[in-house]
Amino acid sequence: MFTIILYCAAVSGLGVSLFKSRDKTRLVLKKAWKSFENILPQFLTVLLIIGILLSVFNKDMISKLLGAESGVFGMAIAAVIGSITLIPGFVAFPLAASLLKAGAGYGQITMFVTTLMMVGVVTLPVESKYFGRKAAIQRNLFALVYAVCISFVIGGLLK
């Protein structure tokens, strides 16, 4: 129901925009379409990778590596994968949901998503260039500590 309300609000907003200025609305729709075209290849690639990984790693394997019973080892795997992977949030959350359905634990998924969003091993050189090496390393270490803390809390609460 909420989705229908959002779609109605979007269509209404588009109608108001068209009424106020057709030219600006057309320009914005062209820019939106261009953004969609730019995101689509990445999105499809990631969905393809997710599909392949979920078909290669069966439910038992995912439960063994990232399940609640995998404990600290599973958290470490999730932290490493999350820290070195560069995936946008709109792909990370559906991936996390798929992994949960496949048997991953809440703490491990929290670790994966938190490190994915906050710890940037791949982006460290760029971050170091703009903020300085010391600040970039400190930020990443604090983010990792936060990820560990929140993962243990979530993993403990949602057992």
| Least confident among 1-15, 85-99, 112-126 | 85-99
Residue 33's pLDDT is: 94
The contacts found for 67-73 with CB under 8 angstroms, 24 or more apart, are 67/103, 67/104, 67/105, 67/108, 68/105, 68/106, 68/107, 68/108, 68/155, 68/159, 69/105, 70/105, 70/108
pLDDT tens per residue, range 21-65: 999 999 999 999 998 898 888 778 767 877 777 777 777 788 788
Q: What is the pLDDT of residues 62-98, one digit of tens each?
A: 878 888 888 889 999 999 988 988 777 877 888 888 8
pLDDT for 134: 96
